[in-house]
Amino acid sequence: MIEIKNLRAAVEGKEILQGINLTVKPGEVHAIMGPNGSGKSTLAQVLAGKEDYEVLEGSVTFNGKDLLDLAPEDRAREGLFLAFQYPIEIPGVSNVNLLKNAVNEVRKYRGEDQLDAMDFLKMMKEKMKLVDMPQDLLNRSVNEGFSGGEKKRNEIFQMAVLNPSLAVLDETDSGLDIDALRIVANGVNALRSKDNAFIVITHYQRLLDYIVPDFVHVLYKGRLIKSGDKSLALFLEEKGYDWVKDHVDEFMAV
């Protein structure tokens, strides 16, 4: 699915990612955890193609293509999806307008016919159920005046509509209460299949109670310093990131 090799990236001259190596196969869910400032969001943004980040070294192969060589829209069209940590408000552009254009741009890229209005609406209805999306959010301007929970739910809804092969969820749990968290997690779980994969970036273990990962990686100072299974998340939860910072060698040896 995706193979990240020795990825180094900087923003405003400061190196944030200092050599990331990660391979994700279809059907897998990988969690990336780490303290604030470790580079979690940078990794998400670099994968999505944000131009503010400069890739210094390394490669990312996504479904056989050189991901870093693609424009952000082409990465999405190839099946990559980023659920933003801070979804952007776009006044005057309705959610439904965004999705109609997005779906059709992706279909065009793949040489498929445009969806007609009826089929599109039918699909929207189905996907809305997945994340318990109220109808009125659909016609409102993208994320404008949405609550924190609504914004995150909207990200998962967009993901459901676009049906990516790899979804990167950037701290989708942050700012969510337990009910919203459950709705978001249920949406993700409903979309899990043997053909797609998820990279779940999170600060807290709590989300992983709902979205159970196959692998957990710890990102620290721009490197994945340790990988394990779900128990690693529980270990982190128990010890705390401060402990990791003070006992890096010991932690790596656990």
Partner 1 sequence: MSNPTELKNWYAGKFKKFEESLNGESMLSIHETRKAALEKFLELKFPTLKDEAWKYTNITPLFAHKFEDILTVKPSIKGVDAEKYLFDKKEFYTIVFINGVYVPELSDEVNEPGITLCNLKTALTKYTEDVSLHIAKFAKIENSIFTALSTAYINDGVFLKVKSGNTLSKPVQVLYVNSGGDNLLIQPRNLFIIGKNAQAKVVESYYAEGESIYFTNVVTESYVDQNGVFEHIKIQEESEKAFHISITEIDVEKQSKYSSYNINFGGELVRNDLNARFNGEYGHVTLNGLYLTQGIQHVDNQTLIEHAVPNCESHEMYKGVLDDQSRGVFNGKVYVKKDAQKTNAFQENKNVMLSDFARVDAKPQLEIYADDVKCSHGATVGRLSEEALFYLRARGIGQELAKTMIINAFANDAVHSISIDEVRRRIEDRVAVKLDKQKNEND
Binding site for partner 1 (CB under 8 A): 48-51, 71-73, 75-77, 81-82, 84, 87-93, 97-99, 101-102, 105-106, 109, 141-142, 158, 162
Judged by beta carbon, residue 170 or residue 173, the one nearer partner 1 is 170
Query: Shortest distance, CB of residue 72 to partner 1, whole angstroms?
Result: 4
Judged by beta carbon, residue 136 or residue 177, the one nearer partner 1 is 136
DSSP-based three-state secondary structure for 69: helix
Which tokens hold the place of 55? 């890739």
Judged by beta carbon, residue 110 or residue 245, the one nearer partner 1 is 110
- Residue 155: count of CB within 10 angstroms of its CB: 24
Query: Shortest distance, CB of residue 77 to partner 1, whole angstroms?
Result: 5
Query: Shortest distance, CB of residue 76 to partner 1, whole angstroms?
Result: 4
- Residue 83: count of CB within 10 angstroms of its CB: 25
CA 130 to chain centre: 18
| Residue 212, CB-side half-sphere exposure with 13 Å CA sphere | 1
Contacts for 102 with CB less than 8 Å, ≥ 6 apart = 76, 158, 161, 162
Residue with tokens 């739910």: 153
Query: Shortest distance, CB of residue 118 to partner 1, whole angstroms?
Result: 21
Query: Shortest distance, CB of residue 93 to partner 1, whole angstroms?
Result: 5
Judged by beta carbon, residue 40 or residue 226, the one nearer partner 1 is 40
Query: Shortest distance, CB of residue 209 to partner 1, whole angstroms?
Result: 28
Contacts for 58 with CB less than 8 Å, ≥ 6 apart = 4, 5, 6, 7, 8, 19, 20
Query: Shortest distance, CB of residue 69 to partner 1, whole angstroms?
Result: 15
Judged by beta carbon, residue 49 or residue 213, the one nearer partner 1 is 49
State how far the Cα of 13 lies from the Cα of 152, in Å rounded to an integer: 31
Helix (H) or strand (E) holding 158: helix 148-162
State how far the Cα of 192 lies from the Cα of 198, in Å rounded to an integer: 8
State how far the Cα of 21 lies from the Cα of 248, in Å rounded to an integer: 19
Judged by beta carbon, residue 117 or residue 253, the one nearer partner 1 is 117
Judged by beta carbon, residue 199 or residue 216, the one nearer partner 1 is 199
State how far the Cα of 32 lies from the Cα of 240, in Å rounded to an integer: 15
